[in-house]
Amino acid sequence: MLVMRRREGESILIGDDIEIQILHAGPSRIKIGITAPKCVPVTAKEVKLVRQQNVAAAQTRSVAALRAMLDQLSARPGGEK
Amino acid sequence: MLNQPCMTTAQTTTLLRCETRYFGPVEYDDGSVLVFPDGVPAFEEEKRFIAIHQPINEPLIFLQSLSRPDVCFVTLPVLAACAGYQTRIAPEDLDALGLETREQPVIGRDVLCLAVLCVEENAPPTANLLAPIVVNLRTRCGRQVIQTDSRYSHQENLPVAEAACS
């Protein structure tokens, strides 16, 4: 991973037409501005992770696998140990 | 079927029928439908779900899409997945859900808050506590809320019996 140090107001260029500017740096979060062509999707990484997780969640599971999981869950009231 | 006394429009009960992924045909009350105006990530077209819970499968809640029988999320109330769970729902998401934006909703009083489970063969089940499914109990409007400021992961391990014994 390339690591660069930047201050507020400074930018990073990726290729010719993507610019990432540091707008504000606070103690625990930073605010960045992104300029990119419309064809480049820009999303928070969490969005992609959640999409992938939903696809996996919707595909998996036989009821048998579910039951096995249920038996393991300590959260289940009266669940078998 | 979820039987929270929330919907005021369903004066006359109309029973409808849908196919489900796990339970064959199921009858449901039109007033119990949960509406997700934006769908859920990766399933943006699925806007109407019913919540199925059965005593035998406590405490699981199955979120079944009404338009696609093959789409059913197995979920767990977040507090069952993680005792002491705290939401950090952004004001924009609270607004989209029709909730008060100045404070976090109370789970169980204001909202139903569910973690989507991922159960794969030969792997421990995980719960998505980063992005819970939040349903406004008053309006039955739902949304999967991606909490960017959360301390939870999209793949949290569930408490298992071994851990509970220690």
What would the pLDDT profile of B26-36 be if each residue is shown by its tens digit? Answer: 999 999 999 99
Task: Tell me whether A25 touches chain B (CB under 8 Å).
Answer: no
Span A16-23, average pLDDT = 96
> Residue A68 has which token pair?
């096995």
The span from the CA of B76 to the CA of B128, in Å, is 10
Picking from A66, A46, A68, the residue whose alpha carbon sits closest to that of residue B128 is: A46
Which residue in B90, B65, B66 sits closest to B75, CA to CA? Answer: B65
User: Which pair of structure tokens corresponds to residue B8?
Assistant: 């005021």
ipTM for the complex shown: 0.83
Distance from the Cα of residue A14 to its chain's centroid: 20
Q: Is the pLDDT of residue B2 over 60?
A: no
Edge-to-edge, what's the strand order for the sheet holding A11-14?
A: A11-14, A18-25, A30-35
Percentage of chain B exceeding pLDDT 90? 66
DSSP letter at B48 equals: E
Q: Does A70 contact B57 at a Cβ distance shorter than 8 Å?
A: yes
pLDDT bracket for residue A75 (50, 70, 90): very low
Interatomic CA distance for residues B157 and A8, integer angstroms: 38
CA neighbor of B111 nearest in space, from B43, B155, B51, B47: B51
pLDDT in tens, A24-73: 999 988 999 999 999 998 988 999 999 999 999 988 666 666 766 666 66
Give the percent of chain B with pLDDT over 70: 89
Q: How close does chain B come to A81, measured CA to CA in Å? A: 6
Interface of B with A in 53-112 (CB under 8 A): 57-60, 70-74, 76, 80-81
8 Å CB contact of A53 and B57:
no
pTM of the model: 0.81
Closest-CA residue of B relative to A73 is B160
